[in-house]
Structure 1
C-alpha cells in the first residue's frame, strides 16, 4: 500500500511573518553578522510587529534593525554589535533611552539555554559563573548546590522561544532542510535552535526536489517533522552572507551604518529599503543584478 505524499509546508514570506504575533519570544538564527534571516526581519517591520522579545547568542543587523523600527521590547543575548562595522547604534539608542530592556548572558550560556529546550529541561547548569557580575545583574540566573558534590552551581533558564526562524541554503517543500557538512558556527547554531522549539520557520535560498533530498540525505539534520513552514527566499540573508552562496554586501552595510547615525536618517533608510519595496523581490530589484552578482560565492555542499 503506497503512502500518501507529505503535505507541502511552502508558504509566502508575508504568511510566514504573519505567524509571529506581537509579544512573541522570537529566536533568530545565524551568528553575529553571518547568515541572519534578514528578509524575514524586513517583513516583520513591513507588517508593523511590536513588543517582540529576541532570544539568541550574538546579534547584529537583525536586532539593530528591529530596534530602529520600534519592534522590540526585550533582548536576551550576549552581544549586539556590527563587528568591523562598529556599534549597533539603533540598538544602543533604544537601550539608553529606556525603550528596550536587555538581559545579559555569557555567550556559551546563550547556547546552553537552547540545549536545555532541546533536551527537555527547564534549565541548564553552569559552574563557571562564580564572582561574575552577570549573576549580579541577571536575576533570572539562580544559584543552587550540586546534588552530587555540594559545589555551588548556577542555573540558566531555558530559552523557551515561541518561534525560531533560520535561513538555510536549501530545503524541499515538505521542510527537509539542507545543512552543509563543511560549515561554521552559524549553521551549527541554527540546527541547535531549530531543535529547541516546536514552531520553526525556515527561509531557504532554494527549494529543491525530493529526489535531491534523497540523494543528499546526509545533509538533512533538520527533517520535515521538525519544521512548521518553509519559504523560498533567494538572497534571504542579504546584506549578511550565506555560506557557500554569497558574501556580505559591505557596500550596503556601510550605507546602513551611515544611516543609523540618527533616528531621522535611519527612518529614511527604512522607508527606502524596507517599507517602500512591496516585498523581498522588489528589494532585490532595487539592489540590482549587477550588485548581487558581485557577491556570488559558489560553494559545495560536500
Structure 2
C-alpha cells in the first residue's frame, strides 16, 4: 500500500469488511471494565470455577484481555480473590490463582527466551518432521470449517468476539499441530493476530505447551481427541450450538481428516524425531 496523501482517511488503514464489529458488545476496555468483570467473577464465577473446563457455562474470569493491556494487575486480582474466599470456595480459588501463577510463569519464560514465539525451547523439536501446510486444511481451521465440532465452535468464537475458552484453545491447537501436522508457530501467529488477549508471553508459551516443545509441556504423544473432549465438557452441545450456525444440519461439513489416522501419523512423526522406529 502506498500513501498518496497526508490525510489519514486516504491511507485505507481500516479493512473493507471490519471483523471486530461485535467486540464492543463483549468487551469494555479500561480499568472500569476490568473491575466490573472482576466483580462479576467474584460474585458468580468463582463458585462455579470447578466447572471451568465446560465452555458452555460462564465460570471463567474473562480477565485476560484486561491483564494483557495492564488495565488490572495480577496482584490486584490475587488480593481481590483472597479477600472474598470462603471455606466453600477455597479449592476453586486456589485453582484459579494457580492459573494466574501460570501466566506469570509464561513471563518468566519470555524474560529468559525473548524468541519464545519462534524457537522451540526443547531443542530436539528442531528435528521434528513438519510437513508443508495444506492450504485448504489451514484455511478450514482458521474459518472453523474443519467438520470437527469443538474445534470449529472455538475458531468461530475467536473470529466473532476475539477470544476462545481455554479448554477449547488447547483442543484447537492440538488439532492443528497433531491432526493437521502444521507447525505450532503458524497457529501461534494466527492467535496473535486474532485474540483480544494476545499476549507476547502466554500465547507462545501455551502453544509450545501443547506442541510439547516448551518447558513443563504436555508430552507430544498427548493428542486431544476433540470428540471425547466435546462429549465430556459440552455434553448438551450448548457451546457448539451457540457458535456453529449450521450445527446439526446437513450444511455442516464432514471432517477434513480422520482423527484416528492423523493421530497415528503424529505419533509416528514423534518417534521419527526421537530416532525411534514407529509402532506398526
**What TM-score range do you get, normalising by the shorter chain?**
under 0.3
TM-score by length of 2: 0.26
Tell me which protein shows more strand as a share of its residues.
1
Tell me which protein shows more helix as a share of its residues.
2
